[in-house]
Chains A and B, each alone.
Chain A
Amino acid sequence: MGIEQKLGNMGVVTTTLETVVNWSRTNAMWPMLFGLACCAIEMMAAQASHFDMSRFGMELMRASPRQSDLMIVAGRLSRKMAPALRLLYDQMPEPKWVIAMGDCASCSGVFNNYALVQGVDEIVPVDVYVAGCPPRPEALIHGVVTLYEKVKGQKFVEQVKA
């Protein structure tokens, strides 16, 4: 359904502010570059022309946390890297979301050892987990669309944080 049908002859559309804001957020969500390992290769493929993630409003990967809404943690996170990841997450402006891409980011995958964080959900709150080792670009895009569904259902009241 296009906007023309909603407008009718009046040139007016009625909706709620929440819907409009959430709709605009999902259509311009800029992810932050956080490629840590081989998942980053699939993330690059998802951005490139064959899969073209910009169809979903992700034209730009930002190198700066100040300009990004979404952190895609793509790869295994070492204990030494963990403070840096948390620092970058804290520097992102609200509202912000996190996708744990791949098994390593979700639960450390095959690496159960002293050197790696056993899932980035120990460090930052994760919204969507994408399974796979590494996940195919379709899987990442599916994760992103799942996140969009979550964002579209968000209420303003829940977003106000103490």
Chain B
Amino acid sequence: MDKKLEPIIQALQENFSITFEEFRGETHVFLEAETIIAALTLLRDKYDFELLSALSAIDFLPQTSPRYHVIYQLTSLARNLALQLRVPLADGEPHIPTATGVYEVANWRERELRDMFGIIPDGHPDLRILLLPEGWEDKHPLRRDFPLGYEEVQFTFNVDEINLRKPYAKE
């Protein structure tokens, strides 16, 4: 681990119940959804993590508990540090508290999170659909159980049969 990160991990350990792991020189800190806002505020105010450079998620289906990891990638320009926070979420209707109060940039990132994974940021000021077409509020394409494509592949033996039920425009 980076020497400069050690006191920061220690401070997080004193204030919250966390676990952390290292992967190829990067530090991932796991914490609960209830404490994420307090942790982000602490890191921003005391340890100069002024930039939330990414907010996304991973779906680990068929693993269901936890099924999702919500990922906050923080950068400190002043100290030249990077730190990743992860919030594991169970299957069902996943909710996280919104980070818009701490980082303004989380606004669009959390709307994208809702679009793509259906993870609801509670208390978000403007939770409209961001990237997907209208009417896709309940479709979340980056979930593992979302179908990959909807087109049946046509081979020589079934091309006519599939053509019959394809929705061609007539006019």
Which residues of A are at the interface with B, using a C-beta cutoff of 8 A? 79-80, 82, 107-108, 112-115, 118, 121-125, 161
Contacts and interface: CB of A to CB of B under 8 A. Distances in A.
By secondary structure, the B interface counts as: loop
A112 B151 contact: yes
B168 A121 contact: yes
Contact of B141 (A114, A118, A121, A123): A114
Contact of A122 (B141, B149, B167): B167
Contacts of B153: 112
22 contacts: A107-B151, A112-B148, A112-B149, A112-B150, A112-B153, A113-B148, A114-B139, A114-B141, A114-B148, A114-B149, A114-B150, A118-B150, A122-B166, A122-B168, A122-B169, A123-B169, A124-B169, A125-B168, A125-B169, A125-B170, A125-B171, A161-B171
B159 to A, nearest CB: 11
Nearest to A79: B133
B146 interface: yes
Nearest to A108: B151
Nearest to B167: A122
Interface string B136-171: 000101000011111101000000000000111111
Contacts of A123: 169
Contacts of A122: 166-169
A22 to B, nearest CB: 21
Nearest to B151: A118
Contacts of B33: none
B168 A114 contact: no
A64 to B, nearest CB: 22
B54 interface: no
A125 B151 CA distance: 18
Contacts of B77: none
A113 B169 contact: no
Nearest to A161: B171
A107 B166 CA distance: 11
A113 B170 CA distance: 24
Contacts of B151: 107-108, 112, 118
